[in-house]
Amino acid sequence: MSSGEDSPDPVPGLTSPRALSLERFPIRIRESSSTQSGWRLSVEAGEGEGSILLVEGVGEPFYRGDGIFLGWPQERMAAAYVALKPKPEADRFETQQLG
């Protein structure tokens, strides 16, 4: 197996990033008087830890970053979120053959 130099990092600027968790997270924003919810993706990389919060349902989706993602532009956070978001597991639902 190669040392990883043959394939680029999934997120340019971060060394060996990996998702730690993806969870629903309550958030308050100025544009809304009610609590919204978003998806918080916690990440660890060689540069440290951080998270990207995806907020939907208030117009255009937007991203908020903290830790290693603090100050990143929307486009860069969106690309990092998509690259690091855990892939859904295959559906294992099977119907039984009766008869």
Q: Does residue 2 register a pLDDT over 60?
A: no
Contact 57, 39 (CB under 8 A): no
Over residues 65-82, the pLDDT tens digits come to 999 999 999 999 999 999
Over 90: is that where the pLDDT of 25 sits?
Answer: no
Choose between 77 and 3: higher pLDDT. Answer: 77
67's CB contacts (< 8 A; 6+ apart) are 48, 49, 50, 51
DSSP per-residue letters across 2-63: --SSSS--SSTTSSS-EEEEEEEEEE--TT-SS-EEEEEEEEEETTEEEEEEEE-SSSS-EE
pLDDT band at 91 (very low <50, low <70, confident <90, very high): low
Which has more pLDDT, 12 or 3?
A: 12
For the cut 60, the answer to whether the pLDDT of residue 7 exceeds it is no
User: Looking at residue 50, what is its pLDDT?
Assistant: 97
Angle (CA) 86-90-95 rounded to 5° is 155
Three-state secondary-structure class, residue 67: strand
